[in-house]
Structure 1
Amino acid sequence: MNKNYTDINQQQRKLGSAFRKESPDTLNAFLSLHKAAFAPGAMETKYKELIAVAIAINVRCDGCIGSHVEAAVKAGANREELVETINVAILMGGGPAVIYGTQALAAVDEFYP
């Protein structure tokens, strides 16, 4: 099973834009929440993105994995930090997290330079 997380992210951006036209209040409110939650504060954005990667694995969300792995890399997460994040997600999520954790590693390889 080969997934291309760059394609998944591009497709989700298109779908999100289309939905925003239909329901701008809802999507704009969500995007404001997203911006506030990921703003640097007591915790750097990188760590918030790593948490989001772990959650994305456990809720089995391909779009979330692609988006947050890409954002974590852009925020300065290195490959080892991402692998350790996947390890914690697998611990907390059991067998299903193993499946999505290994797929998240494919996303890491795709986005990490």
Structure 2
Amino acid sequence: MTQSYSEKISDMRRELRALNALVPETAKGFGTLSKAVKDNGPLSVKEKEYIALGMSVILRCEPCINFHVEALMKAGATREELGDVLAMAVQMGGGPGLMYAGHALACWDELAKA
């Protein structure tokens, strides 16, 4: 049985909590970096999340895609804006980008129904 995107996100969070418990200083450092990147600079959080999503598609990191789609929804992104970012990722990543862009859109559509 295929997991839903919500289940995948929940499972990844559980795995990350275990990793964080094992290497707390690394987790703390990564959290500090993430906060510094998002809280500073001329780009909005939404714009930064679009960049992160595009990179996630190109790097073929499905857990990253799921987290950044979720973050984009919280940041007020629209499905049409998502499509524009995914189109750019496909242009940069070719066929593999197209496949992972499909994952990102399916994740968005599922989370939008929740």
TM-score normalised according to structure 1 size: 0.92
2:30 matches 1:36: no
Query: Matches of 1:32 and 1:92 in 2, distance apart?
Result: 30
Q: Which residue of 2 aligns with 1:100?
A: 100
> How far off its partner does 1:111 sit?
2.3
- Tell me the percent identity: 38
SS at match of 1:112: helix
Query: Matches of 1:50 and 1:79 in 2, distance apart?
Result: 12
Determine if contact 1:8/1:62 at 8 Å carries over to the other structure: no
| Partner AA of 2:93 in structure 1 | G
Query: Matches of 1:19 and 1:83 in 2, distance apart?
Result: 33
Query: Matches of 2:25 and 2:88 in 1, distance apart?
Result: 35
Deviations 1:6-25 (A, max 9, x none): 11111111111111111000
Query: Matches of 2:76 and 2:70 in 1, distance apart?
Result: 10
| Partner AA of 2:66 in structure 1 | G
- Would you identify which runs of 4 or more consecutive aligned residues in structure 1 move more than 3 Å? none
Corresponding residue pairs, total:
113
Q: Which residue of 2 aligns with 1:5?
A: 5
Q: Which residue of 1 aligns with 2:60?
A: 60
Matches within 5 A, 1:13-92: 13-39=13-39, 41-92=41-92
Query: Matches of 1:4 and 1:35 in 2, distance apart?
Result: 28
Q: Which residue of 1 aligns with 2:110?
A: 110
Report the RMSD for the aligned CA atoms in angstroms: 1.6
Q: Which runs of 5+ in 1 are unaligned?
A: none
Determine if contact 1:58/1:89 at 8 Å carries over to the other structure: yes
